[in-house]
Structure 1
Amino acid sequence: MSNHKLKPWDAADHLEDQEDMILYLNACIDDDPGDGSLIRAALSDIARAQNMSRLAKETGMTRAGLYKALSPDGRPGFDTMLKITRALGLSLHFDGHAH
């Protein structure tokens, strides 16, 4: 019997470029239950895949503040979400479609 230890799967380990980040974030936006939890989780994964220290510096937040804002219990304001997405090189766009 081998003593292999399995590492928990982490989305941040698989976000290799901006296209990966955009596809992942869009999928989470499409599936979000309406409370922002999946979007917040995706941004957290993307932030960890990039460089949390650099991101904190670019947003003007502390690393701890950034982790807290993107945590499952975090409730970041829209201004914080804009700072984070811009620092990640992402932008928000809206379009209309019938439901």
Structure 2
Amino acid sequence: MAKIDVNSLPEFDAADYLTTPERQAEFLSAALEDGDDAGIRNALGVIARARGMTGIAEATDMNRQGLYVALSENGNPAFSTVMKIVRAMGMKITITASTP
């Protein structure tokens, strides 16, 4: 069996596949359902890249660098920042009761 050179494979970027608002909403909903802070932050970052960081930064009154930092692996955006980003993406967060 031939070995595959992992370094020769194209880099996967989920942002390349989140081409519609519906796909983006599903992606963020799945992250919210998992409830992992890092996963939610990552999903927001991927969607922001899919939509264009500059446009999201402008819509949130943030600079691009600040947006990148907030949504980075080490970022810890305030809830108000998360809500600005979600609104800039034309989305809203809906809460439902979970069943045990």
Q: TM-score, normalised by structure 2?
A: 0.88
Q: For 2:80 and 2:35, how far apart are their aligned partners in 1? A: 20
User: Displacement of 1:93 after TM fit?
Assistant: 1.0
In the alignment, residue 82 of structure 1 is paired with which amino acid? M
- Could you list the runs of 4 or more consecutive aligned residues of structure 1 that deviate by over 4 angstroms after TM superposition? none
- Alignment match, 1:7: 10
- CA offset digits 1:20-55 (Å, max 9, x no partner): 00111111222243xx10000000000000011011
The secondary structure found in structure 1 opposite 2:91 is: coil
Q: For 1:47 and 1:24, how far apart are their aligned partners in 2? A: 12
- Alignment match, 1:57: 58
Q: Which runs of 5+ in 2 are unaligned?
A: 1-7
RMSD, matched Cα = 1.4
Q: For 2:31 and 2:93, how far apart are their aligned partners in 1? A: 14
Give the fraction of aligned pairs with identical amino acids, expressed as a percent: 41
User: Displacement of 1:79 after TM fit?
Assistant: 0.2
